[in-house]
Amino acid sequence: MVEKLTAAIEETMETQVVFTIPIFGGIPVSSSVVVTWIIMAVIILLSIIFTRNLKLVPDKKQVIIEAFVSFLRNFCRDQVGEKGMRYFPYLSTVLIYLGFSNLIGLFGFIPPTKDLNVTAALALMSIILIEVAGIRAKGTKGWLKSFTKPVAIITPLNVLEIGIRPLSLCMRLFGNILAATIIMEMLKAIVPVFIPVVFSLYFDIFDGLIQAYVFVFLTSLYIEEAIDVEE
Amino acid sequence: MSVAIGAAIAVLTGIGAGIGIGIATGKAVEAIARQPEAKKDIRSSLILGCALAEATAIYGLIVALLILFFL
């Protein structure tokens, strides 16, 4: 029993290398990259299918996609405000990608967000975008000055936050998805019938979507804070 | 053996997160009962608070896994 559980945990912990590109002494391509390619292909295909033949009077297909896009726009407008809608494409892209990648465990693929490298890259993209948004909105001088707000004594904490924010964004997503995958693997190792289906509803669908939401929510919250100019 | 005990202690961080999220959710339910029209705002701040509170539990889990596999 214990050996079975240990094997299940060890299997989920390691990152699988699918194949190696035979240049520069071999570049290993891990499964998260391959699954990301699959997600990209699916999203691109869906975008092409849904945005072909757009009409002024929408048909059924177009109504669905219009409802979806306006849902995303409203969600972002609520978080970042009218000024921040410039960052809507990035936020919605990350939301769609994370939604797909957290749900892809249902189809038997390994979720790419279970790989620490993927979440670290996403968190780095987010923190760079946040700081650039701050610089654009306030100017370099205003951006530097914003570190001393609200009181000068907490400047070190504000500087530390540049490092802490992406770290916690990255670890939160990675830890949640990893924990969910480990628990599912352990369940499958002990009771292979029926019980995993029930838990999969929570761990794969609910938790995955909540984490995608939380990642984008926090990113947009930080952006909103960064572009908030005091008069 | 001592490695496993260390990992178990690290995972105890989950207690704090559990209590914190429980209190936050209870307060949110109270707030919604008092002011049902503010449901949307309450829900989004609840999710934010839960996400931040939960982070400590996640750190504990990651530390436990690091202890188990790299010590």
> Model confidence at A108, in pLDDT bands (50, 70, 90)?
confident
Q: Taking every pair of C-alpha atoms in chain B, what is the biggest distance, in angstroms?
A: 54
pLDDT tens across B30-48, in order? 999 999 998 888 888 888 8
Beta carbons of A217 and B47 less than 8 Å apart: yes
Interface test with A, best of B46, B61, B63 (most A CBs within 10 A): B61
Beta carbons of B69 and A13 less than 8 Å apart: yes
pTM reported for the whole predicted model: 0.83
Provide the ipTM.
0.73
Given a contact cutoff of 8 angstroms between Cβ atoms, the answer to whether A106 and A200 are in contact is yes
pLDDT of residue B28: 94
pLDDT of residue A17: 73
pLDDT tens across B51-64, in order? 888 888 888 888 88
Alpha carbon of residue A88 to chain centroid: 15
Interface test with A, best of B1, B40, B62, B70 (most A CBs within 10 A): B62
Q: Is the pLDDT of residue A224 over 90?
A: no
As a whole number of angstroms, the distance between CA A230 and CA A143 comes to 12
Beta carbons of A217 and B44 less than 8 Å apart: yes
DSSP 8-state class, residue B1? -
Quick check: helix, strand or coil at residue A17?
A: strand
Q: Is the pLDDT of residue A231 over 60?
A: no
Partners of A12 on chain B (C-beta within 8 Å) are none
> How close, in Å, is residue B62 to chain A by CA atoms?
7
Beta bridge partners of A123: none
Task: List domains and CATH numbers for chain B.
Answer: 2-70 (1.20.20.10)
Closest partner residue to A175 (CB to CB) among B44, B48, B62 is: B62
pLDDT tens across A16-42, in order? 777 777 777 777 788 888 889 999 999
Closest partner residue to A175 (CB to CB) among B47, B58, B69 is: B58
Number of domains present in the structure of chain A: 1
Partners of A217 on chain B (C-beta within 8 Å) are 44, 47-48, 51
Beta carbons of A176 and B47 less than 8 Å apart: no
Beta carbons of B47 and A214 less than 8 Å apart: yes
pLDDT of residue A28: 79
> Model confidence at A1, in pLDDT bands (50, 70, 90)?
low
pLDDT tens across A66-88, in order? 898 898 888 888 888 788 788 88
Residue range A176-202: mean pLDDT, rounded: 81
Q: Which two tokens stand for residue B29?
A: 């339910």
As a whole number of angstroms, the distance between CA B58 and CA B40 comes to 27
pLDDT of residue B22: 94
Using the structure block, give the residue that is written with the tokens 């990113």: A219
Residue range B1-26: mean pLDDT, rounded: 90
As a whole number of angstroms, the distance between CA A161 and CA A12 comes to 31
**DSSP notation for A189-211:** HH--SSHHHHHHIIIIIIHHHHH
pLDDT of residue B59: 83
As a whole number of angstroms, the distance between CA A62 and CA A186 comes to 42
As a whole number of angstroms, the distance between CA A90 and CA B39 comes to 28
Higher-pLDDT residue of A129 and B1 is A129
Give the domain extent around A129.
Answer: 2-227
> Model confidence at B26, in pLDDT bands (50, 70, 90)?
very high
Q: Where are the alpha helices (DSSP H) in A52-115?
A: 60-80, 88-103
